[in-house]
């Protein structure tokens, strides 16, 4: 299959074994195909399918497949997954053959994804099993129970496993998943480990070129790393862990470098340092929101997942910062995840005039001061939409700030300034004793969360950074501290703004 990842620029990493948890028993090849088929017609060009690490989930001759030993499994979900995998293998339907074939039928490439160190077998109460080889060789383990990649036996087995996968199956590439999970070496051996890991990538690249030549195609190669922290801290952390993604790109070892954003950096991704790594190389840069629904701050009792509007804003930021593609990870854990955004986000032009919500939270929470004296907070809000051009083209653009300020007594106490110009906040804050009459005043003990809107005039929404200043009046007997917890900027290209969370991800659990 000819490479298509330059044209359909979304990438989905599927957590292979967890997929089986959501397939009704007994499994059939078509039920597995349906999982892949649900992505047809989207902008997903590359489907990465987890193939394990300590154990695998297809019919490998190098690494033990899950459930093949016939050992007792202490949890139903483990038995369920093992039964599915082994039923497919025994029936002559190797899962990797099935997903490769269906991905190609649906116009996607299939790249098996190797978890470089998966720690699930060490989690207390989970008791996932490692392979017999893993259990028989404790000398290959790090103190945390994962593999020590400085050991040549580990690298040798994994290279053999990847070559088997590339040779036996009609795959289009291989992914090394470093998001699962540091460490890869002992801390004091990171420098030595960095050289060993880069050499492993060189050998993998050479193997893919050799196998690909026999098949008459180029087999792609990608590596993905998490950004739990602000850039450039995440790159510095990767280097400390013994990884050298800049060198991998410059040597032409990988075709795609994937920078995943997770945790509180999810909504404000910054890939400038990553873009510097690949500049002048043939390596593509993909970036994305990691797992769905990783909100740092949230009102109690409210389920917050990354909404369609928020996804659009994240993608718009990434495209503007120079991403070559957008990546997603483990979305099968969050219900029907092949949503409308996967038909929109593969092209920045599709996003240009769609409603969005920009979430600012890296600076939050902000202590606004003693409520007896009053307080204030200043926030930088970045906007990537070209609102002024949209206005000139006749779009009825509207904007609003969505704010949560802990212990705000009434909306009249709040002064909002946008680039030095006053905005009028709306929606009166409801006291705790009236929490049951309004879904946005959620009472938790003596802590009330207040949802406040402040309409922003379209002419004031230029592309770039804006200064938001909030000032709250004091109340002499209120012996608490004001705290700013939410700053969202919502942009609508529709005639009216829907009230309270339409598309915004809020779902009050009252």
> What is the spatial distance between Cα 366 and Cα 486, in angstroms, rounded to a whole number?
10
**What pLDDT is attached to residue 409?**
84
Quick one: how far is CA 445 from the chain centroid?
Answer: 33
Beta bridge partners of 109: 46
> CB 503: neighbour CB atoms within 10 A?
16
Could you write out the three-class secondary structure of 345-409? CCCHHHHCCCCEEEEECCCCCEEEEECCCCEEEEEEEEECCCHHHHHHCCCCCEEEEEEEEECCC
Could you write out the three-class secondary structure of 234-278? HHHHHHHCCCCHHHHHHCCCCCEEEEEECHHHCCCCCCHHHHHHH
Beta strands in 315-355 (DSSP E): 325-329
pTM of the model: 0.90
Helix (H, G, I), strand (E, B) or coil at 109: strand
Mean pLDDT, consecutive 10-residue stretches, the chain (510 aa), reads 63 86 90 91 94 91 91 79 93 97 97 90 65 92 94 98 98 96 94 98 98 97 83 80 96 96 83 93 92 63 73 95 93 59 91 94 93 97 96 93 89 96 80 42 50 92 97 94 93 64 34
Name all domains of the chain by residue range, CATH numbers in brackets.
10-288 (3.20.20), 359-508 (2.60.120)
Question: Which pair of tokens denotes residue 145?
Answer: 């129970």
**What pLDDT is attached to residue 509?**
30
**What pLDDT is attached to residue 304?**
65
> What is the spatial distance between Cα 378 and Cα 484, in angstroms, rounded to a whole number?
10
List of residues 6+ apart from 80 with CB closer than 8 A: 20, 21, 25
Backbone angles phi, psi at 97, to 5 degrees: -65, -45
Pairing of strands 506-508, 421-423: unpaired
Q: 87-140, pLDDT tens digit by residue?
A: 999 999 999 999 999 999 999 999 999 999 987 777 665 556 678 899 899 999
**What pLDDT is attached to residue 232?**
59
């Amino acid at each position: 299959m000819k490479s298509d990842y330059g044209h359909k620029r979304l990438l989905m990493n599927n957590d292979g074994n967890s997929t089986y948890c959501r397939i009704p028993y007994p499994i059939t090849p078509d039920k597995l195909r349906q999982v892949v088929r649900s992505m047809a017609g989207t902008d997903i060009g590359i489907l990465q399918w987890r193939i394990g690490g300590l154990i695998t989930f297809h019919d490998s001759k190098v690494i033990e497949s899950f459930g093949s030993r016939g050992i007792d499994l202490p949890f139903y979900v483990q038995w369920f997954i093992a039964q599915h995998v082994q039923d497919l293998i025994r029936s002559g339907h190797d899962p990797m053959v099935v997903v490769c074939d269906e991905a190609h039928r649906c116009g996607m490439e299939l790249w098996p994804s190797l978890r470089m160190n998966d720690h699930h077998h060490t989690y207390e109460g989970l008791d996932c099993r490692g392979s017999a080889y893993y259990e028989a060789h404790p000398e290959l383990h790090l103190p945390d129970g994962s593999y020590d990649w400085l050991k040549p036996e580990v690298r040798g087995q994994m290279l053999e496993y990847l070559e088997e996968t590339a040779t036996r199956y009609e795959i289009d590439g291989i992914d090394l998943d470093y998001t699962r999970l540091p460490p890869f070496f002992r801390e004091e051996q990171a420098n030595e480990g960095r050289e060993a890991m880069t050499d492993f990538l060189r050998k993998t690249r050479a193997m893919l070129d050799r196998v690909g030549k026999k098949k008459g195609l180029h087999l792609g190669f990608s590596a993905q790393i998490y950004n739990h922290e602000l850039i450039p801290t995440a790159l510095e952390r990767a280097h400390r862990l013994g990884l050298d993604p800049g060198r991998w790109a410059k040597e032409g070892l990988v075709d795609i470098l994937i920078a995943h954003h997770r945790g509180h950096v999810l909504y404000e991704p910054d890939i400038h340092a990553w873009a510097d790594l690949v500049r002048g190389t043939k390596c593509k840069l993909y970036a994305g929101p990691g797992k769905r629904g990783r909100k740092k701050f949230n009102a109690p009792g409210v389920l917050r997942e990354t909404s369609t509007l928020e996804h659009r804003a994240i993608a718009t930021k990434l495209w503007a910062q120079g991403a070559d593609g957008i990546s997603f990870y483990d979305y099968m854990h969050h219900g029907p995840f092949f949503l409308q955004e996967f038909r929109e986000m593969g092209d920045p032009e599709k996003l240009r005039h769609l409603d969005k919500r920009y979430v600012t939270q890296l600076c939050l929470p902000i202590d606004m001061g003693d409520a007896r004296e009053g307080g204030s907070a200043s926030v930088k809000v970045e906007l990537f939409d070209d609102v002024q051009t949209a206005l000139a083209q006749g779009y009825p653009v509207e904007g609003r700030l969505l704010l949560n300020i802990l212990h705000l007594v009434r909306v009249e106490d709040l002064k909002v300034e946008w680039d030095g110009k006053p905005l009028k906040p709306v929606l009166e804050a409801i006291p705790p004793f009236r929490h049951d009459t309004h879904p946005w005043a959620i009472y938790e003990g003596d802590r009330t969360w207040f949802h406040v809107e402040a309409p922003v005039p379209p002419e004031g929404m230029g592309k770039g950074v804006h200064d938001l200043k909030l000032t709250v009046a004091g109340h002499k007997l209120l012996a608490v501290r004001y705290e700013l917890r939410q700053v969202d900027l919502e942009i609508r290209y529709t005639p009216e703004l829907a009230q309270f969370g339409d598309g915004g991800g809020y779902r009050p659990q009252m």
